[in-house]
Copies of this chain bind each other. A is one copy, B any other.
Amino acid sequence: MQNPRNIVIIGGVAGGMSCATRLRRLDEFARITIIEKGPYISSASCGIPYALGGVITDEAKLHVQTVDKIKSWFNVDVMTNTELTSIQRQRKTAVVRDLLSGKDSALPYDKLVLAMGAEAAMPSMKGLDDIASGIFVLQTITDLQNVEKFIAENNCRRAAVIGGGFIGLETVENLRKKGLEVALLEYAPHVFPLLDGDLAVLLDDELRRNQVELKLDARISEIKRSPSSSSNSTLEISLEGCDPVTADLVIVAAGVRPRNTIAKAAGLAVGPTGGITVDNLMRTSDPDVYAVGDMVETHNIVAGRDMPLALAGPANRQGRLVADVIAGRSVQYRGNVGSSVCRVFGKTAGLVGFSTERLDRLGLQYEYVTVHPPHHVAWYPGAEAMTMKLGFEVPGGRLLGLQIVGGEGVDKRVDVVATAMMAGMTAEDLEHLELAYAPPYGAAKDPINMAGFAAGNVLRGDVRIVHAADLVNGGRTDLDQFQVVDVRSVDEYSRGHLRGAVNIPLGELRQRIGELKVDKPVLAYCWVGYRGYVASRILRQGIDTPVFNLDGGFKVVKEEGYTSLQE
């Protein structure tokens, strides 16, 4: 029997841990060693904001596995408080340092797996290096303990969070739960920058309702000890063009950067975003070195190119796949679609694929539809409205992105569309999905079917749509070029309508069609888009001029930042 192989895995959470345990199950004889920089392994980093907020009351629950159990169940050696310092690829050796003793040692490997994650990106601001305490990131359980200690010892009353992505939003919610005043500073014009601005604005409202001071388009210039005697807070963050924000502590959640320094020093190829380059077996440019998780660029199925994706699910599955590859299994990584979900107080935001802002930057030919279905039948108590934007390729209908802001049931619809995307389904295929229905859970025509119907109608040319975003300044067209018809009731119309709109309730449209001119295209609309669509079908078959429906209806204008179109 040949000597057992040495497998060295750098990083003891998510991808690294999945790789180690899977590999042991497949190969009882390999020598498997995990190198972990921190004191713990297999910690549930995703729970850290919730532990801060007291939602998770026992921090011990975040330690999913212990070093002893990993040894006893899986015969995997773990070296904690140990850091990789260099990779000697010619000698197939990883040099690691014991952070407690400072002692270096050289670990020979047959296969090396890098699962080192990403580190918090720090925004550039004057004074950052001068602040001795009070500025934190929230990546590890040690970070959590430091923040909790600081809040308790300094009796902090007010926090500032820099960055309004997943972690920032979860941190804001949990700091509020902990009773602190919170300011959220986001560089982009809206929170959750991966979403379109007109959808993310629905989260802004939720944050403000929960007394979060929201600073969007925030350009931080400087941070310093508070000079103002009128402020009880100890730190002051200066912003370009608006008043400074004061706080007793600052948590930075401004994105992450792949930990690539050592890999680069070892000559491994790195992609344009700084992530390690891997093939579909998760091999780096050195076939004996694998890399997984937040530190790599992987194939994005929608974009058709490699991109970073710092999410726990893909990291875990990539680690598992590397174990399969090392064990000689015939597997390939299939790529990502970017499924994500985030709770923001009482709302849930979800995304799979890309926002239309991202699709624009990717240069894809797409259209999108906006629907506002309740998460279950409206007549069953507790129905919560969701706003869905479904993007798809034209003319083929390939699914490119689903964005949702709502309450209950958002995560379900993201997962259904993620599955459809991975299966190569089109937007029209969503019309045909047979989704489970009972009144507490959905509808005979599920929100996903509704989005599919709306998209299918566009793809088949049964309706032409105009988006509110097309009509505002800088948009593709102008409201004044249309004869605008509000097909809602007189009562609804009287409470606000599109600029220049005439009111012809849907039920009167067939009789009053003669009131419309043929020398100007018609833009019909209602509240959410359905009556407008019915109207546009009547008009398409009854008047010899182009007819459009306002996608998502007047609700988009009222709620998503297009009130300039209203009168």
Contact = CB atoms under 8 A, between A and B. Distances in A.
Report which residue of A440, A533, A542 has the largest number of chain B beta carbons within 10 angstroms of its beta carbon: A440
A403 interface: no
A444 interface: yes
Interface stretch (A25-33, A266-274, A491-499): A25-33
Contacts of A542: 28
A303 interface: no
A377 B432 contact: no
A485 B419 CA distance: 38
Contacts of A72: 506-508
B46 A435 contact: no
A26 B44 CA distance: 53
A415 B510 CA distance: 40
| Oligomer copy total | 2
A533 to B, nearest CB: 8
A74 B534 contact: yes
Interface string A546-564: 0000000000000000000
A143 to B, nearest CB: 17
Contact of A436 (B69, B340, B378, B436): B340
A378 B64 CA distance: 10
A380 B339 contact: no
Interface string A1-36: 000000000000010000000001111110000000
Contact of A444 (B315, B348, B418, B537): B315
A381 B56 contact: yes
A316 to B, nearest CB: 5
A314 interface: yes
Contact of A56 (B380, B445, B534): B380
Contacts of A313: 434-437, 444-446, 449
A342 interface: yes
A411 B62 CA distance: 27
Interface stretch (A92-100, A243-251, A357-365, A420-428): A420-428
A46 B439 contact: yes
A325 interface: no
A440 B346 CA distance: 12
A171 to B, nearest CB: 13
Contact of A440 (B314, B343, B412, B418): B343
17 contacts: A25-B534, A26-B462, A46-B377, A46-B444, A55-B380, A311-B437, A317-B434, A339-B435, A339-B437, A340-B438, A411-B412, A415-B436, A418-B436, A419-B420, A419-B433, A420-B423, A422-B429
**Which 9 pairs of residues, A with B, have the shortest CB-CB distance?**
A72-B507, A423-B423, A28-B541, A312-B444, A341-B436, A61-B379, A412-B412, A339-B436, A411-B441
Given A50-B439, A336-B434, 15 more contacts: A25-B533, A25-B534, A46-B439, A50-B380, A55-B381, A56-B380, A166-B438, A313-B445, A334-B432, A338-B434, A339-B437, A340-B436, A341-B441, A415-B433, A422-B433
